[in-house]
Amino acid sequence: MRSLILTLSYLLKDTWLRWFEQPGSVLARMLVTTVMTALSITLLVVLSLQIIKLEKEVEKFGLDNILVIEAIHASDVGQNLKQNRFQHLEEWGELVIIEKFAVVAYGGGKRVNVMAYGERALPALEPYLEKGHNYFLLSTSFPQGALLDFEIDGQYVKAITLTPDDNLSQVLPGNLLFVPFSAFRHLTERGFSRISYLQKSPDAPSLEAIAEAIDHTVATDRKGKVEVKSALSITSKLASLKQQLNKASIGLSLALGGALALIYGTLSLLEFRQSMYISALLNSFGASKFILLMRTVIENLVIVNATAFALIYGMERYHDKIIDLIKMKVSTTPEHLHSIYWGRETVLILIFVNLGVLISCIPVMMAMRKQVGRVLS
Amino acid sequence: MLECKGIGYRYGSSQHWVLDDFTHTFSPGIHLIKGYSGCGKSTLLRIMGQYLRPQKGHVELHGAPLPRKYRNTQMGFVFQQLNLLPLATIQRNLQLAAALGGVGKRQAKKQISYYLTRLGLQELAKRRPTALSGGQQQRATIARALIKEPDILLLDEPTSGLDDMNTTIIKQVLSEFTAAGDKCVIICTHDNRLDDISNEILDFNAFLPIEGHLAALV
């Protein structure tokens, strides 16, 4: 035990002195680890943030609703497209229908879209209508509670500004002026978009089946332009992103481990050639070759892990600044952030980095096979 | 005691055997190996120290192959190049050799103190090798080899470049070491000042080993 302590203490002193005498070698290893780990972690964090963003969208949009936007041009109005082809969706849940006119309203120095609501939209708009105004602007950029004048096709109306709830702003984003359909029925002659929003009931068919039924209707009629929005497309994108993240983490880990094995291996061998004399000398007294090899292994493991851990910790700490720099806008909680930076992908990277370092010590192990008598002669 | 049996050695892919079929038994006492540079003296010493593996033959100690811990406990080696650990003091060099040689802490302390005093190094114990003269370093390397009281002590040119005073100290220490009659000291040297303490001289130049032969020599 005493011999082990004395040997290790000497090796520590020798290593420490070498670091001071030749800082370039240590700094080169630290730089390589920093650059490569930073690139890998940044890429994985960006992918993770995109996943979080999509998950939030799914959460907001919900997995039990579907939005059908049917564009009806002025030329189509004459045909019986005025009748809602998707009225039957009401069998499967609560159906809200809103018409978006082809005209815009002017007020408060801005142009806003005009949405017309009828009886079918009343339950959904009740929280806004109960403020006592038939005309209301849903917006986050206008002063809330203000009464503003808007001009719609030469007609003036007074509307109150209200904040839309998360669900509605997710489904219908932007500044929207809601007006009663009956007051502007004539505007439909210029074309409009009919927005049918279905909140599916629990006993209804699956969202996929409903989306399929809508597609089938559109394909059969071959009229108008219909856009179907649901969380289904987001979830499929989400699945593909998650798959991408998995592939990226494995690919990056392998690349990083391989690159570090090569670079650390070369540097370790160059360094070992310089310290081979001391190793041989210690070995000539009877110090075990294993301990001497462990010096190289531990030295490299300390450098790579200290650098990688410090870097990841730093990146987590300055996450907001880094995200600003790459112009990504995803808000995360500290718990989320911690799981992004210290998640499975990062652990995989760290494992491969350490494996790379272990592999890099093989050339040193080979060099240590040289007979002591030849080194010391 | 230490037997070389049919030792053959050549460097790298060279066709020239530095040692070829060398056989000899070294009994307790002091043995000198002499010969011109490159005749294989140091190579033979390193083979006996287990620092080189012979391509032919083998070395035995007390009639058995060299034990696993031979280098740690049973053999002390003094290199020609004064191989002291540069970052450790002389005392630390000796402590490390004692610890690796399995000498207990108390015994090591006693031995270190004895050999430092015996070789006139007690004032220099806290100094690093670089702060010592060549003669002082040579004495320190001998102290390090002796610290574990090995059965076999191998020395490669221990007195080359040393003045008479340092040489006398070393001769006295080696004579004392072998006085009990159970230790074997083998020295490669050109130095005739060591002749008077030796029990046997193997002259590789004159091709005069008692047993075996050196086929590499013409």
**B51–A285 CB contact, under 8 Å:** no
Same structural domain, A88 and A215: yes
B210 domain residue, yes or no = no
Same structural domain, A109 and A45: no
Same structural domain, A22 and A108: no
Separation between Cα atoms, residue A84 and residue B196, nearest integer Å = 123
pLDDT in tens, A245-278: 888 888 888 888 788 888 877 877 777 777 777 7
What are the C-alpha distances in Å from A290 to residues A282, A297, B96? 12, 10, 17
A24 domain residue, yes or no = yes
B161 domain residue, yes or no = yes
pLDDT in tens, B63-105: 888 888 888 788 888 887 767 888 889 998 898 888 888 888 8
CA nearest A319: which of A335, A337, A302, A306? A337
Angle between helices A231-285 and B90-100 (to 10 degrees): 100
pLDDT in tens, B178-189: 888 889 999 999
Q: Please name the helix (run of DSSP H) or strand (run of DSSP E) that holds residue A22, with its range, or none.
A: none
Q: Which residues of B touch A17 (CB under 8 A)?
A: 87
Same structural domain, A89 and A136: yes
Please answer whether residues A196 and A86 qualify as being in contact, where contact means their C-beta atoms are separated by less than 8 angstroms: yes
Q: In this structure, what is the dihedral angle of CA atoms A230, A232, A236, A241, given to the nearest 10 degrees? A: 50
CA A91 from chain center: how many Å? Answer: 36
Confidence of residue B210 (pLDDT cuts 50, 70, 90): very low
* Site from B14, B48, B51 to mutate, A interface, most A CB atoms within 10 angstroms: B51
Same structural domain, A240 and A357: yes
**A282–B92 CB contact, under 8 Å:** no
The confidence score (pLDDT) of residue B135 equals 84
Confidence of residue B207 (pLDDT cuts 50, 70, 90): very low
pTM of the model: 0.65
Distance from CA of B9 to the nearest CA of A (A): 13
To the nearest whole percent, how much of chain A has pLDDT over 70?
96
CATH code of the domain containing B150? 3.40.50.300
Backbone angles phi, psi at B115, to 5 degrees: -70, -30
| Residue range of the domain that includes A151 | 80-222
The confidence score (pLDDT) of residue A309 equals 93
A97 domain residue, yes or no = yes
* Mean pLDDT, chain B, integer: 85
Separation between Cα atoms, residue B216 and residue B214, nearest integer Å = 5
Q: Which residues of B touch A8 (CB under 8 A)?
A: none
Q: Please name the helix (run of DSSP H) or strand (run of DSSP E) that holds residue B29, with its range, or none.
A: strand B29-34
B173 domain residue, yes or no = yes
Q: Does B74 touch chain A (CB under 8 A)?
A: no
Of A2, A3, A372, the CB nearest to B51: A372
Confidence of residue B211 (pLDDT cuts 50, 70, 90): very low
Q: Does B73 touch chain A (CB under 8 A)?
A: yes
Is residue A231 scored above 80 in pLDDT? no
Confidence of residue A222 (pLDDT cuts 50, 70, 90): low
Please answer whether residues A135 and A30 qualify as being in contact, where contact means their C-beta atoms are separated by less than 8 angstroms: no
Q: Does B85 touch chain A (CB under 8 A)?
A: yes
Give residues 272 to 291 of A whose Cβ lies within 8 Å of B: 278, 281-282, 284-287
The confidence score (pLDDT) of residue B184 equals 93
The confidence score (pLDDT) of residue A80 equals 55
Of A14, A17, A374, the CB nearest to B52: A374
A73 domain residue, yes or no = no
Give A185-204 as a DSSP string: GGGGGGEEEEEEEEEE-TTS
Q: Does B81 touch chain A (CB under 8 A)?
A: yes
Same structural domain, A26 and A84: no
B44 domain residue, yes or no = yes
DSSP label at residue A183? G
**B71–A3 CB contact, under 8 Å:** no
pLDDT higher at A165 or A149: A149
Query: Between chain A and chain B, how many beta carbons pairs sit less than 8 Å apart?
Result: 63
Of A2, A10, A377, the CB nearest to B85: A10
Strands B56-61 and B64-65, how do they pair? antiparallel
Please answer whether residues B29 and B50 qualify as being in contact, where contact means their C-beta atoms are separated by less than 8 angstroms: no
* Site from B55, B100, B144 to mutate, A interface, most A CB atoms within 10 angstroms: B100
**B96–A6 CB contact, under 8 Å:** yes
Lowest average pLDDT, out of A121-125, A133-137, A220-224, A294-298, goes to: A220-224
Q: How many domains are there within chain B? A: 1
pLDDT higher at A327 or A283: A283
Q: Please state the rounded mean pLDDT for residues B156-180.
A: 88
A132 domain residue, yes or no = yes
| Residue range of the domain that includes B108 | 2-203
B71 domain residue, yes or no = yes
The confidence score (pLDDT) of residue B217 equals 39
The confidence score (pLDDT) of residue B203 equals 83
Of B43, B77, B87, the CB nearest to A284: B77
Same structural domain, A129 and A246: no
Confidence of residue A177 (pLDDT cuts 50, 70, 90): very high
Please answer whether residues A144 and A163 qualify as being in contact, where contact means their C-beta atoms are separated by less than 8 angstroms: yes
Q: What are the helix (H) ranges across chain A?
A: 2-21, 23-61, 74-77, 122-129, 166-171, 207-221, 231-285, 289-317, 319-325, 334-341, 344-360, 362-367, 372-375
Distance from CA of A240 to the nearest CA of B (A): 58
* Mean pLDDT, chain A, integer: 83
pLDDT in tens, A59-98: 777 778 888 888 888 777 666 555 677 778 888 888 888 8
Confidence of residue B153 (pLDDT cuts 50, 70, 90): very high
pLDDT in tens, B123-139: 999 999 889 888 888 88
CA nearest A348: which of A18, A23, A40? A40
Q: Please state the rounded mean pLDDT for residues A363-371.
A: 78
pLDDT in tens, A309-352: 999 999 988 888 887 777 776 677 777 788 888 888 888 888 88
**A286–B71 CB contact, under 8 Å:** yes
**B69–A286 CB contact, under 8 Å:** yes
Q: How many domains are there within chain A? A: 2
Give residues 6 to 35 of A whose Cβ lies within 8 Å of B: 6-7, 10, 13-14, 17
**A373–B51 CB contact, under 8 Å:** yes
Closest chain A residue to the Cα of B85, Cα to Cα: A278
B209 domain residue, yes or no = no
Q: Does B79 touch chain A (CB under 8 A)?
A: yes
**A2–B99 CB contact, under 8 Å:** yes
Q: Which residues of A touch B91 (CB under 8 A)?
A: none
The confidence score (pLDDT) of residue B30 equals 93
Block residue for tokens 């219908």: A172
Closest chain B residue to the Cα of A377, Cα to Cα: B81
Confidence of residue B213 (pLDDT cuts 50, 70, 90): very low
Strongest mean pLDDT among A84-88, A225-229, B47-51? B47-51
Separation between Cα atoms, residue B203 and residue B31, nearest integer Å = 11
To the nearest whole percent, how much of chain A has pLDDT over 90?
12
Last-in-domain residue among A171, A193, A222: A222
A118 domain residue, yes or no = yes
A63 domain residue, yes or no = no
Q: Which residues of A touch B46 (CB under 8 A)?
A: 373, 377
What are the C-alpha distances in Å from B31 to residues A20, A22, A376, B123, B173? 45, 45, 23, 32, 15
A155 domain residue, yes or no = yes
Q: Does B41 touch chain A (CB under 8 A)?
A: no
A171 domain residue, yes or no = yes
* Site from A285, A371, A374 to mutate, B interface, most B CB atoms within 10 angstroms: A285
| Token pair of B105 as six digits | 């802490």
Same structural domain, A113 and A148: yes
Is residue B38 scored above 80 in pLDDT? no
